[in-house]
Amino acid sequence: MVGNGIGPSSGYGQFPNNHFSPTMYAKQFLMFNRIASIADMVTNTDFTGEISDAGDTVEILKEPNVTTRPYKRGQKLVRQELDDDYLQLVIDKAEYFSFGVDDIEKRLSHMNWMEAGKSSGMYNLMNVKDKDILQYMADNATTGAGLGIGVSGTPVTIGFGSGETSPLNYLNQLGTILDENDVPDDGQRFIVASPKFFEKLRDETSLVVQADKTGDPLSVIRSRKYGMGEGYNLHGFNLLKTNNNPKTAADDITVMAGHKNSTASVTSLTKTRVIEEHPDYFGSACDGLLVWGRKVLKSENLFVGAIDF
């Protein structure tokens, strides 16, 4: 095998076929870039145990809204009949992967192609699910019309110049909107935004990077610990950065703000199988399947704004 890229000098005749230096292969794969899945971090997954197969439906009963009435001594009571309204969460999304490895490839290779392919396939399944749920949430959220947070085609410009809204003030507006809609402020509020939005939050002009303003030398913004779990928040929001953040119909960037109880998601089936005897040639096969469903339960607890920079 000729593998050495360093050729001989003029007139040097030793090892003319270059067989002294065969091509060597690394023992580890060069992994492609992967991003963290955040769909389960912004949705209620409590209903997962109530379903089993694709096509199943979960009927989620709404809490009855009991009316109050003024009362005077001796007054006859009007007894209300309770409603049993419900929402349906349907398991109707499925994605799969399938690949094979020939026995000769397996025997002559020093790499475990089966495990590498399985890892890649499962990641890509989860990434498809992540994109789907975030897009579905954005499509079914309460839009920013009349709220000052931008709508498709008329985004709010995020920045520090004249006529622009600073990213911190934008977060403050979103927090006020949730407050005015009685959205619980119990540590489960979230912000889903693009890397560019968080770049603006870390801008040297932004107050959140100035320890003398925040009194916090370990600021989550400066440490870039977005989406790291409880305690890493700003204005009561867990900060979640993702490249899967959906865009509006007019191609504006979105910022989603809400509470985990706004949306339910269910992963019904996550399955991989290795078939030792490939049906078409001598080798093995590997298949993977992911089945899930999602439903916005409280659109009043989920808002989406449109921004640009």
Residue 102 sits in a domain whose CATH number is 3.90.1690
Task: Decide if 8 is inside a domain.
Answer: no
What is the torsion angle, in degrees rounded to the nearest 10, for the CA atoms of residue 198, residue 204, residue 206 and residue 211? 110
Predicted confidence band at 20 (pLDDT cuts at 50, 70, 90)?
Answer: low
- Residues of the domain holding 230: 37-309
SS3 261: helix
If you compute the radius of gyration of the chain from its CA atoms, what whole number of angstroms results? 27
CB 46 within 8 A of CB 297: no
Nearby residues of 165 by Cβ (< 8 Å), 6 or more positions away: 156, 157, 158, 159, 173
Maximum distance among all Cα pairs of the chain, rounded to whole angstroms? 118
- Report which residue type is found at 114: M
- Report which residue type is found at 140: N
Task: Decide if 211 is inside a domain.
Answer: yes
Task: Decide if 146 is inside a domain.
Answer: yes
Task: Decide if 12 is inside a domain.
Answer: no
Mean per-residue pLDDT, 270-279: 87
Residue 215: pLDDT above 50?
no
Q: What is the dihedral sign for C-alpha 100, 102, 103, 104?
A: negative
pLDDT 10s digits, 40-70: 899 998 887 666 554 578 788 878 889 899 9
Per-chain mean pLDDT for the chain: 82
Whole-angstrom distance, CA of residue 213 vs CA of residue 203: 14
Tokens representing residue 154 in the block:
């008329």
Task: Decide if 7 is inside a domain.
Answer: no
pLDDT, residue 128, reads 94
Paired strand residues for 157:
308
Residue 155: pLDDT above 70?
yes
Q: What total number of domains does the chain contain?
A: 1
Task: Decide if 289 is inside a domain.
Answer: yes
pLDDT, residue 230, reads 44
Task: Decide if 221 is inside a domain.
Answer: yes
Q: Does this model's pTM top 0.85? A: no
Task: Decide if 302 is inside a domain.
Answer: yes
